[in-house]
Amino acid sequence: MTTARTSALRQRLGITLPVFQAPMAGVQDHRLAVAVSEAGGLGALPAAMLTLEQLGNELKALRAATTRPFNVNFFCHVPPQPDAARDAAWRDALAPFYAEAGIDRATIPAGAGRMPFSAEALATIEPFAPPVISFHFGLPSAELLARVKRLGAFVLSSATTVDEGLWLQAQGVDAVIAQGLEAGGHRGHFLDTDPATALTRQMGSFALLPQLVAALKVPVIAAGGIADADGVAAALALGAAAVQIGTAYLLCDEATTTPIHRAALTSEAARHTALTTLFTGRPARGIVNRVMRELGPLNPAAPAFPLATAAIAPLRAWAERQGSGDFSPLWSGQNAGGCRTVPAGELTRSLAARLR
Amino acid sequence: MTTARTSALRQRLGITLPVFQAPMAGVQDHRLAVAVSEAGGLGALPAAMLTLEQLGNELKALRAATTRPFNVNFFCHVPPQPDAARDAAWRDALAPFYAEAGIDRATIPAGAGRMPFSAEALATIEPFAPPVISFHFGLPSAELLARVKRLGAFVLSSATTVDEGLWLQAQGVDAVIAQGLEAGGHRGHFLDTDPATALTRQMGSFALLPQLVAALKVPVIAAGGIADADGVAAALALGAAAVQIGTAYLLCDEATTTPIHRAALTSEAARHTALTTLFTGRPARGIVNRVMRELGPLNPAAPAFPLATAAIAPLRAWAERQGSGDFSPLWSGQNAGGCRTVPAGELTRSLAARLR
């Protein structure tokens, strides 16, 4: 089942297994990346929720723990203008929950929530010469991207439509991640972000992957719904050069997934996920919980990404103190059946078990 | 790649290729079914838009043209109570289009749109002893289902969630179709039909298929996004015993797909499909066109299935007379890339090209 496509990409990256660990901000640090890279796959460090100092420390620890290739991942959204009216409307929508939790909304600090890629981030990672740098929500400015490429990094970004894949290829990415609609976490769409149409453009992996493979010259990495060795074999049959897997790693020993999140992933609740804007402002797939049910997962009151985060954070903290995930982003793809409570290296090898 | 699963199912059904042609009401008659069955797959005759007399005539023609196994497909919705207020609201939503087309809304007849399975339908098909009978939107009453099974037919129905698959298995179906979100035409969901949650339960094939395979004892047939031999190989890798393919057949010589629909399928427009309730009242996937853009594909004014059909029919007829598909249901899955203008037998054989 190992195709010429996978061989070429593995050689280029210096990895032995065509298994990329999906960067998952908030549920992992360098330890998961190290475990996957040491097993022969491509580990990933998500930078979106780290300060520059934390990012530098994580890279130092990662580099100290492995000499294998790894991926550093950045969001590259343009931070929105603060909008006091919209923020107030969002806090109004959350007001009944604040009342229930005894939270004084006047005391909730504003906060950015997620850090986009920047010249400062580039300067932070430069000494560590990451072999692979990946982006979500498109790409940084042409000038910043040129500087990334001068580092010698292999550059990846996610496409959710054929048009996005063609656009990324034209900007010079080295490979494109086909992010099928099954995937957990944030949708990476960036060409059409109109709420009325953007989500209707999102495709399941069975449709998106072969269309990107047919349309692009660069390798395509399959993501979304892949949970075990059969899924890996199926993705390669559809033309993928490698797979990127997130959800299946969430129960691994090296992930920092909270106990509440872990419990949700192994419960019946994991059968029902939805795209929701409630936690950050951008559609992201997570297990349906109380706040998603009561406000509707795509409630239009949620402000622009990433400004929804700050107002919901104290509710999350309040509920989690009581052992509840009612207000937590329980990120998961549509196929949590592959989650296993094992070391990530073992999972990585088992994912590649059907490859020759 | 041919697994023990596919062999057992092929033997049971007496077919040589594990390729089921998806029944597609409105775009095919017995001729497409005959061509697929004669090529060694399982052809299908959709009954939902036929009168009982037409159904009998189609079965007569089908039986005369092939001795191979075939499938007769029925919708099994419960027709809704007519609701004059809701129907008026729907016609209000369409009023600007009526004005543009010069259509007097008082002259538009009401109409049922789609016929559910019934004792009369059973009596009509009984003399033809269909080897396979499939249902969409669940199953008919237990009493009717028992009579279907006494005919000796192999019974199929579609599941869009694990719960639906378990329910169908418990009712005694012989196999379950895993209808991935990529699929064209009507979603088959039936356990949760609440507009607020039903669509969030729908999964891409990469997630739905392996979960149904893991949960069920009966064979699972993969549907949704499968467009070519690679897709068939991928579906079997994920545990499917067979595949069901619709969209790829829409350009075949034997399909009755209109020229307007054929042109849309081969245009750039086919890259953007959406689930829409505008044409029938139930969510169904079609190529985004003018009425979907202007009303929104899931406009809540659309009445209960299948009552939306009658009010939009004259707009469709008016637009089609001018060569436009602006008001036509341009059913398509998310992967129209496999559509080929060839005889259906040739397409069936090419879909099985990677199987040993």
User: In this predicted structure, what is the pLDDT of residue A20?
Assistant: 98
Residue with tokens 């780290």, as numbered in its chain: A50
Which of the 8 DSSP states describes residue B116? B
**A164 touches B at CB < 8 Å:** no
Identify whether B348 is part of a domain: yes
**A191 touches B at CB < 8 Å:** no
Residue B41's domain comprises 1-77+114-247+339-356
Asked if A156 and A294 sit in the same domain, the reply is no
User: In this predicted structure, what is the pLDDT of residue A112?
Assistant: 64
User: In this predicted structure, what is the pLDDT of residue A113?
Assistant: 72
Mean pLDDT, each 10-residue run in order, chain B (356 residues): 83 97 97 98 97 97 98 95 92 97 91 86 97 98 96 97 98 98 98 93 98 98 98 97 98 98 97 97 98 97 93 96 98 95 98 91
Residue of A nearest to B336 (CA): A207
Q: How far is B159 from chain A (nearest CA, A)?
A: 14
CA-to-CA distance for A340 and A336, rounded, in angstroms? 9
Q: Which residues of B touch A201 (CB under 8 A)?
A: 272
**B334 touches A at CB < 8 Å:** yes
CA-to-CA distance for B104 and B87, rounded, in angstroms? 15
CA-to-CA distance for A190 and A184, rounded, in angstroms? 17
**By C-alpha distance, which of A1, A61, A10, A14 is closest to A35?**
A61
Instruction: Tell me if A204 and B205 make a contact (CB, 8 A cut-off).
Output: yes
Q: How far is A265 from chain B (nearest CA, A)?
A: 14
Identify whether A260 is part of a domain: no
Instruction: Tell me if B204 and A288 make a contact (CB, 8 A cut-off).
Output: no
User: In this predicted structure, what is the pLDDT of residue A4?
Assistant: 87
Identify whether A61 is part of a domain: yes
pLDDT for A177 beyond 60: yes
Q: Is B229 in contact with B337 (CB distance < 8 Å)? A: no
Helix then strand count (H, E) for chain A reads 13, 11
**A228 touches B at CB < 8 Å:** yes
CA-to-CA distance for A119 and B353, rounded, in angstroms? 51
Kindly report, residue by residue over A321-355, the tens digit of the pLDDT.
999 999 999 999 999 989 999 999 999 999 999 99
Kindly report, residue by residue over A49-65, the tens digit of the pLDDT.
999 999 999 999 999 99
Instruction: Tell me if A204 and B337 make a contact (CB, 8 A cut-off).
Output: no
Q: How far is A278 from chain B (nearest CA, A)?
A: 15
**B178 touches A at CB < 8 Å:** no
Identify whether A140 is part of a domain: yes
Q: Which of A194, A200, A206, A213 to mutate to test the interface with B (most CBs of B within 10 A)?
A: A206
Asked if B92 and B188 sit in the same domain, the reply is no
Q: Is B204 in contact with B225 (CB distance < 8 Å)? A: yes
**By C-alpha distance, which of B185, B137, B143, B134 is closest to B160?**
B137
Q: How far is A226 from chain B (nearest CA, A)?
A: 7
Identify whether A252 is part of a domain: no
Select the residue of B196, B201, B226 nearest A206 (Cβ to Cβ).
B226
Select the residue of B227, B271, B296 nearest A210 (Cβ to Cβ).
B227
Query: What radius of gyration, in Å, describes the C-alpha atoms of chain A?
Result: 19
**B174 touches A at CB < 8 Å:** no
User: In this predicted structure, what is the pLDDT of residue B1?
Assistant: 47
Instruction: Tell me if A234 and B230 make a contact (CB, 8 A cut-off).
Output: no
Q: Which residues of A touch B180 (CB under 8 A)?
A: 204, 206
Asked if B334 and B194 sit in the same domain, the reply is no
| Neighbouring residues of B353: CB distance < 8 A, sequence distance ≥ 6 | B229
Identify whether A259 is part of a domain: no
| Neighbouring residues of A49: CB distance < 8 A, sequence distance ≥ 6 | A25, A26, A114, A115
Average pLDDT, chain A: 96
**B230 touches A at CB < 8 Å:** yes
Residue of A nearest to B332 (CA): A207
For residue A43, count CB atoms less than 10 angstroms from its CB and return exposed for 0-12, middle for 13-18, buried for 19 or more.
Answer: buried
**A198 touches B at CB < 8 Å:** no
Instruction: Tell me if A161 and B271 make a contact (CB, 8 A cut-off).
Output: yes
Write down how long chain B is: 356
- The CB-based long-range contact list for B50-53 (8 Å cut-off, 24+ gap) reads B50/B115, B51/B115, B52/B120, B52/B121, B52/B124
Residue of A nearest to B337 (CA): A211
Token pair listed for A27: 């549920």
Asked if B23 and B2 sit in the same domain, the reply is yes
What ipTM did this prediction achieve?
0.96
Asked if A29 and A100 sit in the same domain, the reply is no
User: In this predicted structure, what is the pLDDT of residue A2?
Assistant: 59
> What is the dihedral sign for C-alpha B339, B342, B343, B348?
negative
Instruction: Tell me if B200 and A235 make a contact (CB, 8 A cut-off).
Output: no
- Which stretches within chain A are classed as H helix? 4-13, 30-38, 52-65, 84-101, 119-125, 142-150, 162-171, 205-215, 229-237, 259-265, 290-295, 308-321, 344-351
User: In this predicted structure, what is the pLDDT of residue B112?
Assistant: 64
Residue range A187-194: mean pLDDT, rounded: 96
CA-to-CA distance for A118 and A60, rounded, in angstroms? 19
Select the residue of A204, A271, A337 nearest B210 (Cβ to Cβ).
A337
| Neighbouring residues of A93: CB distance < 8 A, sequence distance ≥ 6 | A295, A299, A301, A302
Asked if A6 and A90 sit in the same domain, the reply is no
Token pair listed for A5: 């496509």
**B238 touches A at CB < 8 Å:** yes
Residue of A nearest to B180 (CA): A204
Identify whether A173 is part of a domain: yes
Asked if B349 and B326 sit in the same domain, the reply is no
Residue range A139-166: mean pLDDT, rounded: 97
Count how many pairs of residues, chain A against chain B, have C-beta atoms within 8 Å: 138
Asked if B41 and B143 sit in the same domain, the reply is yes
Token pair listed for B54: 């037409």
Instruction: State how beta strands A132-136 and A70-75 pair.
Output: parallel
Asked if B129 and B239 sit in the same domain, the reply is yes
Q: Which residues of A touch B354 (CB under 8 A)?
A: 237
User: In this predicted structure, what is the pLDDT of residue B111?
Assistant: 73
Asked if B55 and B190 sit in the same domain, the reply is yes
Kindly report, residue by residue over A24-39, the tens digit of the pLDDT.
999 999 999 999 999 9
Provide the CATH number for the domain around residue B17. Answer: 3.20.20.70
Select the residue of B162, B163, B205 nearest A206 (Cβ to Cβ).
B205
Asked if A59 and A155 sit in the same domain, the reply is yes
Instruction: Tell me if A210 and B335 make a contact (CB, 8 A cut-off).
Output: yes
Number of domains in chain A: 2
Kindly report, residue by residue over A115-138, the tens digit of the pLDDT.
899 999 999 999 999 999 999 999
Q: Find the distance separating the first CA and the last CA of chain B, reported in whole Å.
A: 6
Instruction: Tell me if B205 and A205 make a contact (CB, 8 A cut-off).
Output: yes
Q: Which residues of B touch A334 (CB under 8 A)?
A: 203-204, 206-208
Whether residue A131 has a cis bond before it, omega within 30° of 0? no
**What's phi and psi for A277, nearest 5 deg?**
-105, 0
**B100 touches A at CB < 8 Å:** no
Instruction: Tell me if B230 and A237 make a contact (CB, 8 A cut-off).
Output: yes
Instruction: Tell me if B224 and A204 make a contact (CB, 8 A cut-off).
Output: yes
CA-to-CA distance for B196 and B123, rounded, in angstroms? 38
pLDDT for A92 beyond 50: yes
Identify whether A280 is part of a domain: yes
Asked if B42 and B69 sit in the same domain, the reply is yes
User: In this predicted structure, what is the pLDDT of residue B2?
Assistant: 58
Instruction: Tell me if B272 and A201 make a contact (CB, 8 A cut-off).
Output: yes
**A195 touches B at CB < 8 Å:** no
Token pair listed for A118: 């920047």
